Amino acid sequence: MAKKLVRFDWAMKRLLRNKANFDILEGFLSELLHEDFKIKQILESEGNKATEDDKFNRVDILVENSKGDLVIVEIQNTREADYFQRMLYGTAKVIVEHIAEGQPYSRVKKVYSVNIVYFDLGQGDDYVYHGTTTFVGIHSNHELELSEKQKELFKKTSVSDLYPEYYVIKTNRFNEVAKDTLDEWIYFLKTAEIKDEFTAKGLKAASQKLDILKLDPADRKEYDRYMEAQRSDASFVETVKLEISSAIWEVAENALRIGLSFEVVAQITGLSVDRIQEIADSMKDK
């Protein structure tokens, strides 16, 4: 039996910034990063401030852990073609904001960018992606490593440890079959439900603290308003998709009427040849 809970994206905006609820986010980051994660503080960032000339709207949550590492946690519900560049800009901005003028570059903080997206970002058949930076010799194919002195200076073991790391969780690609504790978290991210048998870190706390029925009246009203806006946005997207599909169908029909081959029509519309055959068959019935 699954309990219906507050959606994680709304909880990040209203509930997870409260120190009493840090254990929820700590649990999620522990499962994702494969280390015990302890939040030191939620940081404010210049990226949170809406300015007219700033391309970066805001950081949903910027966390500093007990080791001084910074973690950007961002949830994106709407499709953005340039979201990869947004991720890059966000990490670069956070790095610059959190090194004082005159400090050596060795003081640059490690940054993790955790992106939970509710659309199909890029092309790929997985639902969790991890990106790091490595340098590989173009002749030897050997990876560039830190010297022993650098390891001592940076307290890191590899070059990639110095650079930002990126995680992309594509919730729409998840089939809702939880095979491990990270999957249990992704199940919650996608469905806003936690099953009784789930054991992932932080989910027990989430089940207790993110119960919709336990929201105070003001928060419940705000949450209902938020969910209505999400449903409205989803309806708009579906309407646009239907209109685009209809327009593509009409283009295909017109192209077939003037005698273009199935292959050419497929190239024009982006549809498969089999789909063009279906359209041609439907035209015979009209």
Q: Are residues 192 and 112 in the same domain?
A: yes
- Tens of pLDDT, residue by residue over 151-180, are 999 989 999 999 999 999 999 999 999 999
In which domain, by residue range, is 12 found?
2-214
Q: Are residues 195 and 256 in the same domain?
A: no
| Entry pTM | 0.77
Q: Are residues 26 and 126 in the same domain?
A: yes
What's the mean per-residue pLDDT of the chain? Answer: 86
Q: Are residues 223 and 88 in the same domain?
A: no
In the chain, the number of structural domains is 2
| Domain end call among 197, 214, 231 | 214
* Burial label, 169 (beta-carbon count in 10 A; 0-12, 13-18, 19+): buried
Q: Are residues 114 and 150 in the same domain?
A: yes
- Tens of pLDDT, residue by residue over 188-245, are 999 999 999 999 999 999 999 999 988 889 889 988 888 887 776 555 556 666 677 8
DSSP at 2: E
Mean pLDDT score, 116-139: 93
Q: Are residues 52 and 151 in the same domain?
A: yes
| Domain end call among 183, 198, 214 | 214
Q: Are residues 139 and 101 in the same domain?
A: yes
Q: Are residues 63 and 134 in the same domain?
A: yes
Mean pLDDT score, 1-11: 82
- Range picked from 82-91, 100-109, 127-136 for highest mean pLDDT: 127-136
Q: What's the CA gap between 249 and 246, in Å, rounded? A: 5
